[in-house]
Amino acid sequence: MPERQAALGGQDRDRVEHRSRRLGADDGQAALVQGRGDDVHVAFCRVRAHGGKLVGALHLEPYHAAWVRDLNAPFLFQTVEGDFDVRARVRVKGSAGGLPGGTWSLGGLMARVPNGLDAKSWEPRRENWHFITTGVALDRGAAVTETKGTYNSYSSLKLRPFQQGWVELRLVRVGMTLFALARPDGATAARHPPRSCERARARLP
């Protein structure tokens, strides 16, 4: 089967915190971020490995960026093949705490087809990915989940109201079907968006 990049990521300047991740049996070697509160600056993003009350959490503070059409935002990834099951407990918050004060401040999980391009070889209409994120989107102060599929750099999204705070996100590939699920922290039942799952099944390479 073609390779995929299973990724944690975020967009805009507010904070995204991820806790826990599990990949399938064929996940290969995992890339780890280690530290005691030290900042690591990568492209368009500041990354911090938490200590204290959030031991094991990964903190991302993206600068202004977005995942849409040909545009990219910060993401940490691992290349996988075949079926996979990726999970993360995610909280998106503003720099002053609580919900982000602006719009389009989200973070979550993505499955992306590597395109093999770099700054010199870049060309348009080569982005193919599907994600599920949590945070704030079009309306200020309104917590949502966003599912978005991008195929040959054409993006289509769906927004759904959701609770703020910690959210468990899950992205599962079974054969040619990709499932995106979310559940509030402490809940036992996950929710998945049928339209996005159908779209992923129909167009996944």
Question: Which string of DSSP letters, residue by residue, matches the chain?
Answer: --EEEEEEEEESSSEEEEE-----TT--PPP----SS-EEEETTEEEEE--GGGTT-EEEEE-S---BTTB---EEEEEEES-EEEEEEEEEE-TTSSS-SSSSEEEEEEEE------TTT--SS---EEEEEEEE-SSTT-EEEEEEEEETTEEEEEEEE--SS-EEEEEEEETTEEEEEEEETT-S--B--HHHHHHHHHH--
Whole-number pLDDT of residue 11: 62
Contact 32, 18 (CB under 8 A): no
Structure confidence by residue, pLDDT tens digits, 89-133 = 999 988 888 899 889 999 999 999 988 888 899 999 999 999 999
- Digit-coded pLDDT (tens) for 165-191: 999 999 999 998 889 999 998 887 776
pTM score of the predicted model: 0.74
Q: What is the pLDDT of residues 60-92, one digit of tens each?
A: 887 788 889 998 888 888 888 899 999 999 999
What pLDDT was estimated at residue 136? Answer: 95
For 7-61, the pLDDT digits (tens) are 666 665 455 554 433 333 332 222 222 222 333 333 445 556 555 555 667 788 8
CA distance 153 to 13: 23
pLDDT for res 16: 52
- For residues 179 and 194, the model is more confident at 179
